[in-house]
Structure 1
Amino acid sequence: MSDVVQVDVSLLGRQFTIGTPASEQETLREAVRLLEDKVTTIQSQGKIVETDKIAIMAALNIAHDLLRTKVGEGLEIAEFQRKIRAMSEAADEALRASQQTLF
């Protein structure tokens, strides 16, 4: 189990400290960037000015995109990314082990 780390992020001009497993820091940062992109798009349209409504619309847009995006037989993108990350970590661990054996 990964240690929990505190990550400082900025959303809608506000600072937040979010606890996340150490292995998920980059995924959290990617999520923040995705949310900021959606927020910026909504703000640029100029139809909604209230911060809470912008945040809700951005979250709904992301949820909608996620539900529409499926890979293969119902495998969600997030699950697909987790599996790729796990395979990558296993490969890295195997390479480290083989390098230690060589030296």
Structure 2
Amino acid sequence: MDVRRAAAIALTVLSVAFRIAAVAFAVLTVLLCFPSAAARLGITGFVIDLSHALPDLIQGYGLVTSPFGGVFRLDFALACAGLFILDYSCQRIAYKLR
């Protein structure tokens, strides 16, 4: 197996990981808009740990009260967008390497 093909496969795997993480952030962003869903699932501790894992630049940025009683987390939405951009970039580079 040549190096270009191996790099393309590695970038494809990395792209899938970025996409899964981005979808998870998107789902969490929507779930946190509804306080009953977050309370039922018991994800409060997980959300706090995930919030601490974000870079300090966006951590806790843009917390907006939703009309449903929950909170819209702009920091999670920005992380989701960044992960989708990384996913797209990895896919494009992998395509060029093949």
**TM-score w.r.t. length of structure 1:** 0.34
The structure showing larger relative contact order (alpha-carbon pairs under 8 Å, at least 6 residues apart) is 2
| Bigger-Rg structure (1/2) | 1
Higher strand fraction: Structure 1 or Structure 2? Answer: 1
